[in-house]
Amino acid sequence: MRNNVYFIWIVLLLLGISDKVDAREVTSFNSGWEFKKGPFSKDAMQSAQKWNSDWQEVTIPHTWNADDMQKKVSAFYEGVGYYRKKCTFPENMEGKRIFLRFEGVGACAEVYVNGYLVGTHKGAYSAFVCEIGSQVKFGKENEIIVKADNASRPDVIPTNHILFGVYGGIYRPVWLVVTEPCNIVVNDCASSGVYITQKNVSKKSAEVTVKVKVDNATLVPAPMVLENAVYDGNGRLVKKHSQSFELTPQGVQNYSSYFKLNNPHLWQGREDPYLYKVVSRLVQNGRVIDEVVQPLGLRNYEVVAGRGFFLNGKKYPMYGVTRHQDWWGLGSALSNKEHDFDLAQIMDIGATTVRFAHYQQSEYLYSRCDTLGLVIWAEIPFVNRVTGQEWDNAHQQMRELVRQSFNHPSIYVWGIHNEVYHPHGYTAALTQSIHDLCKLEDPDRYTVSVNGYGHVDHPVNQNADIQGMNRYFGWYEKKIQDIKPWIEKMEKEYPWQRFMLTEYGADANIGHQTEILGDALNWTSPFYPETFQTKTHEYQWSIIAQHPFIVASYLWNMFDFAVPTSKRGSMAARNMKGMMTFDRKIKKDSYFWYKANWSKEPVLYLTQRRNALREKKETSVTVYSNIGTPRVYLNGKELSGVSKGYTDVHYIFNKVVLNDGKNVLKAVVSYQGKEYEDEIEWNYNGECNREADFFEHKTEHGSW
């Protein structure tokens, strides 16, 4: 229940428009929509016969790219789609302020009410608000049209579909917000209108300031009382502040309340994600006319170069994953159920921090991270390419991200850009300008920019608080083991740098298996064995764990995702660097590697279960166990000669000789009075080369 309390405005009590209108009503506006894929000429839109035919009934969230963007290379529809909804607003709404709040429309939107343009928005991933009351016909049927367009354009980030697809449609929820003429602002970049800052946070005390933006849409000043109250996790009032004023109709006004909380209960990540709540109420003539509830997690973040990440003065492990939002068969049109599933896997693997890449993600997701204790990185989609025309839109999207997500205690850093370079001067200037914007809007959080090159003095670097680098040793460059000398060189040359390894890893097609591996794999090959991904993560995590110079690391990626412009590893439109498959059904070996190293939950796991057709009679067996040394049996006979691998959870049995035909492997550990087991089956039918067999099959039978 607590999770939903802190979610901005989202009160799931009503499914439609009620006849009863209170101070502020927030209701779902997701049903009763129709969809038509464009494009249409202006004349066609004006033709009643063409316009009124072939509409498809849909429920929001919805995308038109759930299928085509995931299956074929560059064969997806990017362009215009239309959404239509007819509804009647009751007559007692007249005199109220009426807003439509869209959480996400891919990628550019125009909103019309009864033929009048009431709002536009550029950017697929941030929310936006349209005030529609002046165009509504009360007591009569109204027609709402939303034109969505996900075509790439040089002035809107991301400027292409190369790193990931920008799904078209109203793919996140829509809300109807109804308020009195005087309100806590709804249309301040679609934020809550409430901004909570905290200073000097410790176990002894914390200073909290609550700034509320209020607006008067009448023509005369109105006497108001603003109440700000802090409640603890059990709903008990901690402190309250009230102030009276005349609210002028001449623009939005800001009012603040200051609190000093003694002996506060701190928000301590996954260990103790304790949340207070702040309730802001606008009172007129003794009646509450507006109310907004926001989360308050009291915490102090500090990133110390060469030492690590500190949460409330204690060093905090930054076990990081990244997450793209799309799902197989759904695209980006997700319900809270899908978000909850993804977060459950992230929690299960033992992650403590998440980089939500490469764009603003669901408000619900951020709110759940508040309650789960995940330390998160939120960013805008300034990625991959620079056009020279995205300056204004990049600033707009960052401003929206910061204001909409300002009060989430889980967010510690704003991500400015990822792998954008030429022209260097323009890119550096834009990065620095967005950094300055972040500091103006939110001086208490860090900023970060990410480079794919391996040296700090690259021309676009050093324009944010934290320098991130993406490195794929063994995959796009050099050998797996080259991560070690690179990090050691960075430590020596740039000891002052707040540095994070922000992407690393390798692709894994679970249909591709081999035990014959080198130290590098040509990513342009059609053969992407899962075993190479496992080898990469085993070694590279062991190096990362030994080097506190890497303040935080983020493996790429938690889940496979769609890349609609490329075909790699014999799979169209797919990046397969995930720890789990795109459909979320299979956890790859690398998933259990990290779970064993990170999680406090018991893990016992035999690797290479999908590599069941063995190429060598004499082979090795690898077990991940964080509950002690495993006993391993081959066909009922216990193996000897176990050795430790790269970390304390890594156990290897070498020179294991398989029988011809079926072989059963069983691992057993007794831990805290309970016996844990894992069992897999291998088959050996003579020496072979799986990769060579793959290429022979591909040559004879075409691409898989």
Fold topology of 2-184: Jelly Rolls (2.60.120)
User: What DSSP string runs through 81-126?
Assistant: EEEEEEEEB-GGGTTSEEEEEES--BSEEEEEETTEEEEEEE-SSS
Nearest to 333 by CA among 579, 137, 555, 166: 166
- Report the distance separating Cα 517 and Cα 197, nearest Å: 52
pLDDT in tens, 338-352: 999 999 999 999 999
- Report the distance separating Cα 21 and Cα 403, nearest Å: 28
Give residue 584's region: left, alpha or beta (phi > 0; psi -120 to 50).
left
| Residue boundaries of the structural domains of the chain | 2-184, 194-296, 316-601, 613-690
How many CB atoms neighbour CB 262 within 10 A?
A: 9
DSSP 8-state symbol, 349: H
Give me the torsion for CA of 571, 577, 579, 581, rounded to 10°: -20
Mean pLDDT along residues 598-623? 98
pLDDT in tens, 151-185: 999 999 999 999 999 999 999 999 999 999 999 99
Mean pLDDT along residues 463-481? 97
Place of tokens 């003579």: 686
Length of the chain: 704
Enter the pTM of the model.
Answer: 0.95
Does the domain at 613-690 match CATH 3.40.50.300? Answer given as: no
Place of tokens 């039978």: 701
One-letter amino acid for residue 158 of the chain = P
Reported for 112-118, long-range contacts at CB under 8 A and 24+ positions apart, including other chains, are 112/144, 112/145, 112/146, 112/147, 113/142, 113/143, 113/144, 113/145, 114/142, 114/143, 115/143
Predicted confidence at residue 7, as pLDDT, reads 41
Mean pLDDT along residues 526-552? 98
Predicted confidence at residue 687, as pLDDT, reads 79
Nearest to 170 by CA among 149, 142, 194: 149
- Report the distance separating Cα 453 and Cα 98, nearest Å: 49
Give residue 522's pLDDT band: very low, low, confident or very high (50, 70, 90).
confident
Query: 391-405 and 424-441 are packed helices; what angle lies between their axes, rounded to 10 degrees?
Result: 30
Q: How far is CA 421 from CA 233, 415, 417, 424, 440, in A?
A: 46, 16, 10, 5, 25
Nearest to 261 by CA among 276, 244, 274, 242: 276
CATH architecture, range 316-601: Alpha-Beta Barrel (3.20)
Place of tokens 């991904």: 533
User: Is the Cβ–Cβ distance between 98 and 87 less than 8 Å?
Assistant: no
The sign of the torsion formed by the CA atoms of 220, 225, 228, 231 equals negative
State the first-to-last Cα distance of the chain, in angstroms, to the nearest integer: 47
In this predicted structure, the answer to whether residue 11 has a pLDDT above a threshold of 90 is no
One-letter amino acid for residue 496 of the chain = W
Predicted confidence at residue 688, as pLDDT, reads 76
Give residue 696's pLDDT band: very low, low, confident or very high (50, 70, 90).
low
User: Is the Cβ–Cβ distance between 55 and 144 less than 8 Å?
Assistant: no
Tell me whether domains 194-296 and 613-690 share a fold. yes
Mean pLDDT along residues 510-523? 95
Residue 295's Cα: distance from chain center in Å? Answer: 19
Mean pLDDT along residues 255-281? 98
- Report the distance separating Cα 146 and Cα 118, nearest Å: 10
- Report the distance separating Cα 402 and Cα 468, nearest Å: 20
491 is annotated as an active-site residue: no
DSSP strand pairing (287-296 vs 276-284):
antiparallel
Q: 3-class SS at 449?
A: strand
Averaged pLDDT of the chain? 94
User: What DSSP string runs through 412-449?
Assistant: EEEEEEES--SSHHHHHHHHHHHHHHHHHH-TTSEEEE
Per-residue b or e along 428-457, where b marks 16 or more CB atoms closer than 10 Å to that residue's CB: bebbbbbbebbeebbeebbbbbbbbebebe
- Gyration radius from the chain CA atoms: 27
Predicted confidence at residue 695, as pLDDT, reads 56
What percentage of the chain carries pLDDT values higher than 70?
93
One-letter amino acid for residue 471 of the chain = R
Which pair of tokens denotes residue 504?
């690393």
Which entry of 379, 419, 538, 615 is annotated as an active-site residue?
419
Which pair of tokens denotes residue 312?
């409330």
Predicted confidence at residue 512, as pLDDT, reads 98
- Report the distance separating Cα 445 and Cα 411, nearest Å: 8
Predicted confidence at residue 297, as pLDDT, reads 98
The sign of the torsion formed by the CA atoms of 263, 308, 428, 381 equals negative
Predicted confidence at residue 40, as pLDDT, reads 72
Fold topology of 194-296: Immunoglobulin-like (2.60.40)
Mean pLDDT along residues 466-490? 98
| Range with lowest mean pLDDT among 20-24, 495-499, 518-522, 676-680 | 20-24
Mean pLDDT along residues 345-371? 98
How many CB atoms neighbour CB 49 within 10 A?
A: 7
One-letter amino acid for residue 660 of the chain = D
pLDDT in tens, 96-149: 999 999 999 999 999 999 999 999 999 999 999 999 999 999 999 999 999 999
- Report the distance separating Cα 146 and Cα 83, nearest Å: 5
Predicted confidence at residue 697, as pLDDT, reads 47
Give residue 539's pLDDT band: very low, low, confident or very high (50, 70, 90).
very high
DSSP 8-state symbol, 659: P
Cα angle for residues 267, 271, 275 (degrees, 5° grid): 30
Q: 3-class SS at 313?
A: coil
pLDDT in tens, 567-595: 999 999 999 999 999 999 999 999 999 99
Give residue 46's pLDDT band: very low, low, confident or very high (50, 70, 90).
low
In this predicted structure, the answer to whether residue 646 has a pLDDT above a threshold of 60 is yes
One-letter amino acid for residue 336 of the chain = N
How many CB atoms neighbour CB 272 within 10 A?
A: 11
Predicted confidence at residue 2, as pLDDT, reads 40
DSSP strand pairing (253-262 vs 222-231):
unpaired
Predicted confidence at residue 17, as pLDDT, reads 42
Give residue 410's region: left, alpha or beta (phi > 0; psi -120 to 50).
alpha
Contacts for 433 with CB less than 8 Å, ≥ 6 apart: 391, 395
Nearest to 366 by CA among 331, 312, 412: 412
- Report the distance separating Cα 428 and Cα 186, nearest Å: 34
